[in-house]
Amino acid sequence: PRSIWLSRHGESTFNLEGKIGGDADISERGEAYARSLPDLVRRCGDGRKLTVWTSTLKRTIQTARFLTFEKLEWKALDELDSGVCDGLTYADIEEQYPEDFKARDEDKYNYRYLGGESYRDVVIRLEPIIMELERSENILIVTHQAILRCIYAYFMNVAQEKSPWMEVPLHTLIKLTPKAYSTHEERLKADI
Ligand code: G3H
C-alpha cells in the first residue's frame, strides 16, 4: 500500500522569536533537521520512490533540499495566512488586537485573521491537494503546522473542527498508510 509522509519545515528563525507567518529562513537547528531528513525517510521507508511536495515558502523548500526525489511547490500548501498579524508574536497580538485574540481563543476553527484566513478557509483551499493526494502514489509533504493539522485530521478521520488542536511536532516525520477502515500511523523523531 502507498503511504503519505508528513513533515513540518525545520525550525525557522521566526519560530525562535515566537513570530507567526512570514517567510523566514530555517535556523541552524532547522538546517540540521533538513540534513537528517533523507536518512529519516530511508529509515522508515521501503526504498520506494517518493514525490516531495512543499509550499512556496523558503522554510519548506530549504528543509526539503537534500532529498533527491522529484519536487513540486504548491501555493495551496502555504501556511495559514495570519493577515494583519503576520510577523507578530502571540503577545503582540494580545496587546494590539485583544478582541481578536479572545475571539480566536473562543473559536479557533472559525476565527479568520483580519485580512487573512481561518482553519475553515484552509480546509477549503486544501481540497485540490487532498484530491491529488487521493490519486497519487507515495508523497512526502513538507509544509506548515496549520496545514499539516488539516491534512492529518483528514487522513486520521478526525472531524476538521478538531484540526486546530492536532499535535504535529517539529523535527518529526509522520508516515500515514491508509488501510480499508483506518489509517496506520508511524512517527519518527529526528535525532538532532
Ligand atoms: O504559525 C502558525 C502556526 O502554524 C499555527 O498555529 O494556529 O496554533 O496559532 P496556531
Q: For residue range 18-63, what is the model confidence (pLDDT) as tens digits?
A: 999 999 999 999 999 999 999 999 998 878 899 999 999 999 999 9
How many angstroms is it from 145 CA to the middle of ligand 1? Answer: 6
Q: Which residues pair with 89 in a beta bridge?
A: 19
Confidence at residue 138, expressed as pLDDT on a 0 to 100 scale: 95
Grid cell of 171 as nine digits: 523535527
Active-site annotation holds for 8: yes
Cα distances (angstroms) measured from residue 35 to each of 64, 91, 107, 150: 9, 32, 38, 26
- 43 catalytic residue (yes or no): no
| Residue 144 is among the residues annotated as catalytic for this protein | yes
Q: E strands, 55-160, where? A: 70-73, 139-143
Could you give the CA distance from residue 139 to residue 175 in angstroms, rounded to a whole number? Answer: 10
Distance CA 124, CA 121 (A): 5
Q: Which residues neighbour 131 within 8 Å (Cβ) at sequence distance 6 or greater?
A: none
Read off φ and ψ for residue 36, nearest 5 degrees.
Answer: -85, -15
Give residue 181 CA to ligand 1 midpoint distance, Å: 30
Per 3-state DSSP, the chain is made up of helix, strand and coil in percentages (nearest 5) of: 45, 20, 40
First vs last C-alpha separation in the chain: 30
> Whole-angstrom Cα distance, residue 161 to residue 109?
6
DSSP assigned state of 163: G
Ligand 1 atom at minimal distance to the Cα of residue 147: 4
Return the axis-axis angle of helices 145-155 and 127-134, rounded to nearest 10°: 50
The residue from 132, 138, 144, 157 that is catalytic is 144
How far away, in angstroms, is 47 Cα from ligand 1 center? 33
Q: Residue 116, annotated ligand binder?
A: no
Per-residue pLDDT reduced to its tens digit, 53-109 = 999 999 999 999 999 999 999 999 999 999 999 999 999 999 999 999 999 999 999
Check if 184 is active-site.
Answer: no
- Write out residues with Cβ below 6 Å of ligand 1: 20, 79-80, 144-146, 164
Q: How much is the CA Rg of the chain, to the nearest whole Å?
A: 16
Which positions ≥6 away from 107 have C-beta within 8 Å? Answer: none
Contact between 5 and 175 under an 8 Å Cβ cutoff? The reply is: yes
Euclidean distance between CA atoms 106 and 163, whole angstroms: 15
pLDDT at 159 exceeding the cut of 90: yes
pLDDT of residue 68: 95
Q: What is the pTM of this model?
A: 0.96
Residue 1 has pLDDT above 90, yes or no: no
111-150: per-residue pLDDT in tens?
A: 999 999 999 999 999 999 999 999 999 999 999 999 999 9
User: Among the options 9, 104, 149, 171, which is catalytic?
Assistant: 9
